[in-house]
């Protein structure tokens, strides 16, 4: 079924871990694309169910589907890097195993890239909460027409909005020119299982990527409780803060007041989350000395811990009443 003799335009990377009940829909959404010049690289991240067998069944019917296997369960960042190494397309596209493409997605994004000489192109997302009503990630008042996405705007739109806490441009799944990634040596940070997409996109923007976004809704994004996007470790947060700290030292940032402001605001949010997470982890483990050290580690660390504790107080109270927050509890938070 492959289009013999034609260059592969898009390499779609699909990491999968124990996704047997979902991955068929994701794969079929790729096979339904009107743009046929693609390859689909599924990276099986040591699944213990029959994910690999299901992918193999699809691959037997369509030679554009390739199945790779990781040696260890190292998470989606490591799996995508394996996919990068195997890809041959002009563009790299991303897809999660529980998500799906609209049938025109590849064709529309390629047209957007051609019209604007872009290195990165993405679309609006339809967020699909389990048992809830689907809604747009980006409202029409923010994204009413195709537009260039600057680094400052991307970072600013990840800070959070009390009226729309799910508004995070880091959820977007852009298509990226493979030669741009190779030229700048950009890969995923395999240490992070939270915020790895954000870090990857920041690296692209810092390298000068031209990113265009269309309001067309071409990606269906499943929102499931307990996914990696909702689980953050202190190490994950610290690496994001360090990345942004390095970016702030870049001479180009000082020449862009909007970018500098957005970076400082987002880093303050990450610092707050880091100190709170590290502090509560230390308390849960009974490491009182480490908890005390974190309180005085920086001029702002104690205030960050206090502010995030107040913000998290409803959650803390619920878990405390269940006997599951402090050391010795049967279920740690």
What is the predicted pLDDT for the residue at 326? 46
pLDDT at 241 over 90: yes
Exposure on the CB side of residue 24, measured as CA atoms within 13 A: 6
What is the predicted pLDDT for the residue at 165? 67
Q: Are 65 and 40 in contact (CB under 8 A)?
A: yes
What is the predicted pLDDT for the residue at 6? 80
Q: What is the mean pLDDT of residues 285-311?
A: 94
What is the predicted pLDDT for the residue at 315? 72
What is the predicted pLDDT for the residue at 328? 37
Query: How many residues belong to the chain?
Result: 333
Q: How confident is the model at residue 100 (pLDDT cuts 50, 70, 90)?
A: very high
Residue bearing the bigger pLDDT, 271 or 160: 271
Contacts 24+ apart (CB under 8 A), 109-115: 109/175, 109/214, 109/218, 110/9, 110/10, 110/35, 110/175, 112/146, 112/212, 112/214, 113/175, 113/177, 113/212
Mean pLDDT, rounded, of the chain: 92
Q: Are 137 and 64 in contact (CB under 8 A)?
A: no
Q: What is the mean pLDDT of residues 72-80?
A: 96
What is the predicted pLDDT for the residue at 5? 60
**180 backbone dihedrals φ, ψ, rounded to 5°:** -65, -45
What is the predicted pLDDT for the residue at 329? 34
Instruction: Kindly report which listed range (137-141, 162-166, 184-188, 305-309) carries the lowest average pLDDT score.
Output: 162-166
pLDDT, tens digit (0-9, with 9 covering 90-100), for 24-69: 999 999 999 999 999 999 999 999 999 999 999 999 999 999 999 9
Q: How confident is the model at residue 319 (pLDDT cuts 50, 70, 90)?
A: low
Quickly tell me which residue has 């480490």 as its tokens. 290
What is the predicted pLDDT for the residue at 323? 63
What is the predicted pLDDT for the residue at 3? 57
Three-class DSSP labels, the chain: CCCCCCCCCEEEEEEECCCCCCHHHHHHHHHCCCCCCEEEEEEECCCCCCHHHHHHHHHHHCCCEEEEECCCCCCHHHHHHHHHHHCCCCEEEECCCCCEECCCHHHHHHHHHHHHCCCEEEEEEEEEECCCCCEECCCCCCCCCCEEECHHHHHHCCCCECCECCCCHHHCCCEEEHHHHHHHCCCCCCCCCCCHHHHHHHHHHHCCCCEEEEEEEEEEEEECCCCHHHCCCHHHHHHHHHHHHHHHCCHHHHCCHHHHHHHHHHHHHHHHHHHHHHHHHHHHCCCHHHHHHHHCCCCCHHHHHHHHHHHCHHHHHHHHHCCCCCCCCCCCC
Q: Which residues is 121 bridged to in the sheet?
A: 175, 212
Could you tell me the pTM of the whole model? 0.91
Q: What is the mean pLDDT of residues 89-103?
A: 98
Q: Which CATH number fits domain 10-230: 3.40.50.40, 3.30.70.20, 3.90.550.10, 3.40.50.10150?
A: 3.90.550.10
Q: What is the mean pLDDT of residues 160-178?
A: 87
What is the predicted pLDDT for the residue at 4? 52
Residue bearing the bigger pLDDT, 91 or 325: 91
Quickly tell me which residue has 């610092």 as its tokens. 271
Domains in the chain: boundaries: 10-230, 234-321
pLDDT, tens digit (0-9, with 9 covering 90-100), for 201-216: 999 999 999 999 999 9
pLDDT at 152 over 90: yes
Q: What is the mean pLDDT of residues 90-96?
A: 98
Task: Name, in order, each residue with C-beta under 8 angstroms of 225's C-beta and a sequence gap of 6 or more.
Answer: 130
Express as a percent the part of the chain with pLDDT over 70: 91
């Amino acid at each position: 079924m492959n289009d013999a003799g034609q260059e592969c335009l898009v390499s779609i990377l699909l990491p999968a871990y124990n996704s047997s009940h979902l991955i068929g829909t994701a794969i079929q959404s790729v096979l339904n694309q009107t743009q046929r010049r693609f390859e689909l690289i599924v990276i099986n991240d040591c699944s213990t169910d029959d994910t690999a067998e299901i992918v193999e069944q699809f691959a037997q019917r369509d030679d554009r589907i390739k199945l790779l296997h990781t040696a260890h369960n190292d998470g989606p960042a490591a799996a995508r890097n394996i996919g990068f190494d195997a890809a041959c397309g002009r563009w790299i596209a991303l897809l999660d195993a529980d998500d799906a493409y609209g049938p025109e997605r590849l064709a529309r994004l390629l047209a957007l890239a051609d019209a604007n000489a872009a290195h990165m192109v993405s679309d609006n997302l339809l967020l699909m909460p389990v048992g809830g009503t689907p809604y747009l990630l980006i409202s029409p008042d923010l994204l009413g027409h195709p537009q260039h996405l600057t680094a400052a705007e991307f970072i600013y739109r990840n800070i959070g909005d009390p009226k729309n806490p799910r508004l995070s441009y880091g959820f977007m799944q852009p298509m990226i020119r493979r030669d741009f990634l190779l030229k700048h040596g950009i890969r995923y940070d395999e240490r992070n299982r939270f915020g790895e997409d954000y870090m990857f996109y920041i690296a692209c923007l810092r390298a000068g990527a031209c990113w265009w976004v269309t309001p067309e809704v071409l990606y269906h994004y499943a929102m499931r409780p307990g996914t990696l996007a909702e689980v953050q470790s202190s190490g994950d947060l610290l690496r994001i803060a360090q990345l942004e700290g390095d970016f702030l030292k870049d001479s180009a940032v000082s020449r862009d007041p909007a970018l500098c402001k957005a970076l400082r605001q987002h880093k303050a949010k990450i610092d707050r989350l880091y100190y709170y997470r590290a502090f509560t982890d230390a308390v849960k483990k009974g490491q009182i000395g480490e908890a005390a050290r974190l309180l005085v580690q920086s001029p702002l660390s104690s205030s960050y811990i206090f502010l995030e504790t107040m913000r998290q107080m409803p959650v803390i109270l619920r878990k405390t009443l269940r006997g599951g927050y402090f050391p010795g509890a049967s279920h740690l938070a």
